[in-house]
Amino acid sequence: MLDSAVRKQNRSRMVQAVAAAVGASLVLAACGSTKDTGAASAEGGGTGKVGVILPLLTSPFWQSYNDYVPKMADSEGVDTLKTVNSNSDPSQQITDINNQLNQGVKGLVVAPLDSAAIEAGLDQAERKGVPVVAVDVAPDKGKVAMVVRANNVAYGEKACQYLGEQIPSGKVVQIMGDLASVNGRDRSEAFRACVKKNFPKLKVLEIPAKWESDTAASKLDTLLNANPDIKGIYMQAGGVYLAPTLQTLKSKGMLKKAGQAGHITIVSNDGIAQEYDAIRKGEIDATVSQPADLYAKYGMYYIKAAMEGKTFEPGPTDHDSTIVKLPSGILEDQLPAPLVTKDNVDDPKLWGNTVK
């Protein structure tokens, strides 16, 4: 009888202890988080599926990035779902983010189409406790663990410096990207400011083309009709603008190779293989190599780190870049983006020379 009483007393104490522990954990959960408790939190663990959302796949640059994603995911030990293409539609991109979250991803790597519109998707991810890494474009607002991006102000400045050194005076055309994207704004404003400060004898004519090849071709055609004396062109995205620009110039008899009389000096951005071929042929003169391979690599690196709860501080990195804090408070790893000309176009280290 005594043993039975003792056993009952011990069981009672155990039940009370368990109940107390459960109650304490519930209190902590209620007081310590405003996140969606219906979703599995990514905090405290580095495992789980990662969603990768692309802005578009009509550009060779993004096609190359898409090809790099599974390779870099393997090298960084990240388990990704099949990539999703938002097809140049910011509202579709928000839907894509929500679909990925509903599939239970523990991390997201997103290349935003619109720096402002992406906030809605970032807020959804934050509510579900899912970290996000932004690639190529920094959001204006919203929470991301890191932005993986080259310095787009430097893109515009490098293009300006190259054109200014080749062209003493005259008209130059800037074929701009989407000004709803911080990339389009940074490149446009930097190019414009650099020309005004350093090359006042150049007159900048601008084509807002929103990363659309058809728009670029149509507006360039109209501009050339009114300004057949242009001497230089800055294309903010070779992956989108290279083919229509060369075709438009060719149709008007204005595509002259470097060294020939009437050659229009052309500088691009992206660093795709097609640009390198055009440099070798003398059709364009230079491009700034936007690192598609490193975008994929460090997108995977930072999402894995975020899922493991790691954080970073501004300063130099161990991979020849610098982490800076943007005015929004977001951290951005600014990866190197070299200028490519006929002098270094055959460098085997350039990612554009490693893809077919």
Domain limits, the chain: 49-150+292-337, 152-289
Q: Name residues whose C-beta falls within 8 Å of residue 16's C-beta, 6 or more positions apart in sequence.
A: none
Residue 271 clears pLDDT 80, i.e. is over it: yes
Q: If pLDDT is split at 50, 70 and 90, which confidence band does 242 have?
A: very high
Please check the confidence at residue 356 and state whether its pLDDT lies above 90: no
Least confident among 34-38, 42-46, 299-303, 347-351: 34-38
Nearest CA to 83 out of 68, 106, 66 is that of 66
Can you tell me the mean pLDDT for 218-227?
A: 98
| Number of Cα atoms under 13 Å in the Cβ half of residue 330 | 24
Beta bridge partners of 84: 53
Among 14-18, 127-131, 308-312, which stretch is predicted with the lowest mean pLDDT?
14-18
What CATH number does domain 49-150+292-337 carry, 3.40.50.740, 3.40.50.2000, 3.40.50.2300, 3.40.50.970? 3.40.50.2300
State the pLDDT at residue 329: 94
End-to-end CA separation in angstroms for the chain:
84
Query: Distance between CA atoms of 63 and 272, rounded to whole angstroms?
Result: 10
- 24 burial (CB, 10 Å; 0-12 / 13-18 / 19+) is exposed
**What does the longest C-alpha to C-alpha distance in the chain come to?**
112
What's the fold here for domain 152-289?
Answer: Rossmann fold (3.40.50)
pLDDT for res 355: 81
257 SS3 class:
coil
Residue 43 has pLDDT above 80, yes or no: no
Q: Residue 107 — φ and ψ, nearest 5°?
A: -165, 155
Q: How many residues does the chain have?
A: 356
Which range has the worst mean pLDDT, 42-56, 72-86, 101-115, 128-142?
42-56
Kindly tell me if the per-residue pLDDT of 332 is higher than 50.
yes
Residues 6+ apart with CB under 8 A from 126: 35, 142, 143
**What sign results for the dihedral spanned by CA atoms 250, 256, 262, 268?**
positive
Mean pLDDT over 103-130 rounds to 97
Confidence at residue 121, expressed as pLDDT on a 0 to 100 scale: 98
pTM of the model: 0.82
Q: Tell me the helices (H) and strands (E) count for the chain, helix number first.
A: 10, 15
Can you give the pLDDT at residue 142?
A: 96
Which residues, at least 6 apart from 195, have a Cβ–Cβ distance to it below 8 Å? Answer: 160, 164, 172, 202, 204
Strand-strand pairing, 146-150 and 132-135: parallel
Residues 6+ apart with CB under 8 A from 110: 52, 53, 93, 97, 118, 121, 132, 133, 134, 135
Decide whether 49-150+292-337 matches 152-289 in CATH topology: yes
As a whole number of angstroms, the distance between CA 20 and CA 282 comes to 77
pLDDT in tens, 153-192: 999 999 999 999 999 999 999 999 999 889 999 999 999 9
pLDDT the model gives residue 325: 97
**Residue 11, Cβ density class (10 Å: 0-12 exposed, 13-18 middle, ≥19 buried):** exposed
Which H or E run contains 80? Answer: strand 79-80
Least confident of 18-22, 52-56, 213-217: 18-22
Cα–Cα dist 158/307, whole Å? 36
Q: Which residue has the tokens 């294309």?
A: 235
Mean pLDDT value across the chain: 89
